[in-house]
């Protein structure tokens, strides 16, 4: 079965089911004022005794995260709003204290579950948890005790409450799987902080697991296997040790600066599609964002996002990046990326058609909305704007004119923005690569998009499997174009980076550095492997590789050489 | 009465941890504290109420302080938001 992998790693172990007591309504109504007062007092006493129980737990606790969860619980337990709600249920609706509490908690849980923010939605679990704790004290149930687990325990639960995470004996726990939950639920947080593989949101299927079942858990893919065969167990034992090796490499490298042995500093950043992807970028040691795609913002909806919706999206990213640079690419729709609500006619050659900047320069209304949203968000961090699919200098000038117009409109409306925001272009069309010297006079930076540059240069459709062997970024023609872009950028003192696949190809790293590239952007998980190459090599070796490759006339020789040199 | 506006500069908005510290802080003063976002106002004594406002990063909120020690209380609120890496607007 499958859930959401929230804490990576592989566990093989024995299932232990964590049971939760569910509250039941009694339906008993109160019939006089004395009973009402008695039930309110009963509630207050239960809260006092619950608070003192949690305070005792705090005293026994040494782990700072745990203490914080418990202190938050104390605040929730003695919350005046909760008391107001319960008192209202008792005195106006005449419910007994048990039912009044269950109703109040259910109401509050619903408020949180319907919230837009995933983090806030996850707080519903805290509310349920304090409800259960007060109920327990209302019923004089025994206090929490720590259940000892045997070695290699995988905890299986409907959900893990904050209290569970405190009272659980984690010493022997090697994994967690839950029926409900998300990336921000307590199970996920506790598992991540302890480095335990965890899968949440597996659904009701998880209930088929019984105490003592043999479980394999893959916290990266979200897979859960019950009583697998011997071969599967062997396979996953191997995977588990591979993973451990990778993690140790990652840990060693995370805070290491990507500097060559002769002191050349390289920038490694991540490609992202939304603010949340930044977590991975920073976890893997990335230094910023070399490419933020904005298409996600336009997909899975029925109309274009408004300026404010877009503003929220960019602002969230800017804040989360905490001052690190983020290159925002303006919308790159058309080609293979279509929008349901934007009727683009079917084209014979969509990759050579109406797409990206060509749509933006035609539909300036859409373009200016996006530019204004990015500009407004630019005061919250270091955002830069990048235009995709540039083929000529006129297009750059046109785009800049529209950007200027966006700035003027914002200024007139009294809205703040970073007037000095840097502007760059994607180099992904051969004409742009060849005229890099001209384009360099108009922009602050280039970013080389190798995927499209390769398909346009070689006239090879990336989507056509029949000719996929012809798609070859090591073709000398492609390499010469890349070389020209990098050297022209350096000659004109503008910044140059690469955000296409080639940036994450370990075979290409030194060759590109030899060309003079110092800025690589890739998917977060590729960063450690590239960093490993950088810190173990120097610029003169990179130059040597570059000169050798330059003398070769075909990609087979080039690849063979690179494979044997690196 | 003193009214102060703040832009929340934390991408997570006001979540459990800062909400709890904020409540703790208000307990040191005799003044009453209200928190206002858009047209919704709540008393600053309930975690549930603060969290249910769903205050996100980049949003603007106002804190209204009323009472005999409102001047010192307002200073404490200023410090609170500044220390949490949040930017003072007014």
Q: Which of B43, B46, B51 sits opposite A123 (nearest CB)?
A: B51
CATH superfamily of A22-138: PtsI, HPr-binding domain (1.10.274.10)
Our CA-based measurement puts residue B52 at a distance from the nearest CA of chain A, in whole angstroms, of 7
Sheet holding A4-7, edge to edge: A4-7, A198-200, A173-178, A153-157, A10-18, A214-218, A223-226
Which residue in B15, B17, B40, B89 is the catalytic one?
A: B15
E-strand stretches of A104-255: 153-157, 173-178, 198-200, 214-218, 223-226
Give pLDDT < 50 ranges for chain A. Answer: none
Q: Is the Cβ of B60 closer than 8 Å to some Cβ of chain A? A: no
What pLDDT score was predicted for residue A171?
79
Q: Is A75 in Cβ contact with B47 (below 8 Å)?
A: yes
B17 closest CB neighbour out of A68, A126, A319: A68
ipTM higher than threshold 0.90: no
pLDDT at B85: 58
State CA A475 to chain mean position distance: 34
Q: Are B36 and B81 in contact, with CB atoms under 8 Å apart?
A: no
In chain B, beta strands by DSSP E: 2-7, 32-37, 40-43, 60-66, 87-88
For chain B, the structural domain boundaries read 2-88
B40 near A CB under 8 A: no
Cα of A373 to nearest chain B Cα, Å:
13
Q: List the single best residue of A109, A111, A113, A120 to mutate versus B (max B Cβ within 10 A).
A: A120
Place of tokens 């209380």: B73
Mutate to test the interface with A, among B21, B51, B55, B87 (most CBs of A within 10 A): B51
Per-residue pLDDT tens over the stretch A22-46: 678 888 899 889 999 999 999 999 9
Burial state string for A183-193 with b = 16 or more CB within 10 A and e = fewer than 16: bbbbbbbbbee
pLDDT of residue B19: 87
Looking at the domain that runs over A265-565, which CATH code has it been given? 3.20.20.60
Q: Which pLDDT score is estimated for A163?
A: 73
| CATH code of the region B2-88 | 3.30.1340.10
Task: For residues A461 and A463, give the distance between their C-alpha atoms in angstroms, rounded to a whole number.
Answer: 5
| Binding-site residues from annotation of A for Mg(2+) | 428, 452
pLDDT at A146: 55
Please state the rounded mean pLDDT for residues B65-69: 94
Planar angle of CA A114, A116, A118, nearest 5 degrees: 95
Q: Is A215 strand, coil or helix? A: strand
Residue A73 and residue A130 in contact, taking contact as beta carbons nearer than 8 Å: yes
Query: Are the CB atoms for A533 and A295 separated by under 8 Å?
Result: no
Per the annotation, binding residues of A for phosphoenolpyruvate are 293, 329, 451-452, 462
Domain boundaries, chain A: 22-138, 265-565
CA distances from A205 to A2, A157, A158, A180, A210 (A): 9, 12, 11, 11, 12
């Amino acid at each position: 079965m499958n859930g959401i992998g929230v804490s990576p790693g592989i566990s093989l172990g024995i299932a232990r089911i964590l049971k939760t007591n569910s509250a039941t309504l009694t339906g008993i109504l109160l019939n006089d004022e004395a009973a009402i007062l008695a039930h309110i007092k009963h509630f207050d006493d239960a809260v006092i005794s619950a608070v003192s129980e949690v305070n005792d737990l705090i005293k026994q606790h040494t782990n700072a995260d745990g203490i914080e969860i418990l202190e938050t619980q104390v605040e929730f337990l003695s919350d005046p709003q909760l008391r107001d709600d319960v008192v209202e249920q008792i005195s106006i609706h005449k419910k007994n204290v048990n039912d009044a509490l269950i109703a109040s908690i259910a109401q509050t849980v619903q408020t949180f579950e319907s919230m837009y923010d995933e983090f806030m939605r996850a707080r519903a679990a805290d509310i349920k948890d304090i409800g259960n704790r007060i109920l327990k004290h209302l019923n004089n149930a025994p206090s929490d005790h720590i259940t000892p687990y045997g070695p290699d325990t995988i905890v299986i639960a409907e959900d893990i409450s904050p209290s569970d995470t405190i009272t659980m004996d984690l010493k022997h726990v090697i994994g967690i799987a839950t029926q409900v939950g998300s990336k921000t639920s307590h199970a996920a947080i506790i598992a991540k902080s302890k480095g335990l593989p965890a899968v949440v949101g597996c659904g009701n299927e998880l209930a088929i697991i019984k105490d003592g079942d043999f479980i394999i858990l893959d916290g990266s893919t979200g897979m859960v296997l019950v009583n697998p065969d011997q071969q599967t167990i062997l396979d996953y034992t191997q995977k588990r040790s591979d993973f451990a090796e990778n993690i140790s490499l990652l840990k060693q490298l995370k805070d290491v600066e990507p500097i060559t042995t002769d002191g050349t500093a390289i920038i490694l950043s991540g490609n992202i599609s939304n603010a949340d992807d930044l977590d991975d970028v920073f976890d893997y040691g990335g230094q910023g964002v070399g490419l933020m795609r904005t298409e996600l913002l336009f997909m899975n909806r029925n109309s274009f996002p408004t300026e404010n919706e877009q503003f929220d999206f960019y602002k969230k990213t800017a804040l989360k990046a905490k001052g690190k640079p983020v290159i925002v690419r303006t919308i790159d729709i058309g080609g293979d990326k279509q929008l349901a609500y934007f009727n683009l006619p079917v084209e014979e050659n969509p990759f050579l058609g109406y797409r990206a900047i060509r749509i933006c320069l035609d539909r300036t209304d859409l373009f200016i909305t996006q530019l204004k949203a990015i500009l407004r968000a630019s005061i919250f961090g270091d955002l830069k704007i990048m235009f995709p699919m540039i083929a000529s200098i006129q297009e750059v000038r046109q785009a800049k004119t529209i950007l200027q117009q966006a700035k003027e409109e914002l200024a007139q409306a009294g809205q703040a923005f970073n007037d000095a925001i840097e502007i760059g272009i994607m180099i992904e069309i051969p004409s742009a690569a060849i005229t890099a010297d001209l384009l360099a006079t108009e922009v602050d930076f280039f970013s080389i998009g190798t995927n499209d540059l390769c398909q346009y240069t070689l006239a090879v459709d990336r989507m056509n499997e029949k000719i996929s062997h012809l798609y070859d970024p090591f073709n000398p023609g492609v390499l010469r174009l890349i070389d020209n872009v990098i050297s022209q950028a350096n000659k004109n003192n503008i910044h140059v980076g690469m955000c296409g696949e080639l940036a994450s190809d370990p075979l290409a790293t030194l060759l590109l550095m030899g060309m003079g590239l110092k800025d690589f952007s890739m998917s977060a998980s590729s960063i450690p492997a590239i960093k490993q190459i950088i810190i173990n090599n120097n610029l003169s070796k990179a130059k040597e590789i570059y000169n050798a490759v330059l003398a070769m006339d075909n990609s087979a020789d080039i690849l063979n050489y690179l494979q044997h040199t690196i | 009465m003193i009214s102060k506006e703040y832009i929340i500069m934390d991408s997570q908005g006001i979540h459990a941890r800062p909400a709890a510290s904020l409540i703790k802080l208000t307990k040191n003063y005799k003044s009453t504290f209200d928190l206002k976002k858009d047209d919704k106002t709540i008393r600053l004594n309930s975690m549930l109420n603060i969290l249910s406002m769903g205050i996100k990063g980049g949003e603007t909120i106002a804190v209204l302080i009323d009472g005999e020690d409102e001047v010192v209380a307002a200073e404490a609120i200023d410090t609170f938001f500044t220390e949490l890496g949040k930017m003072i607007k007014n």
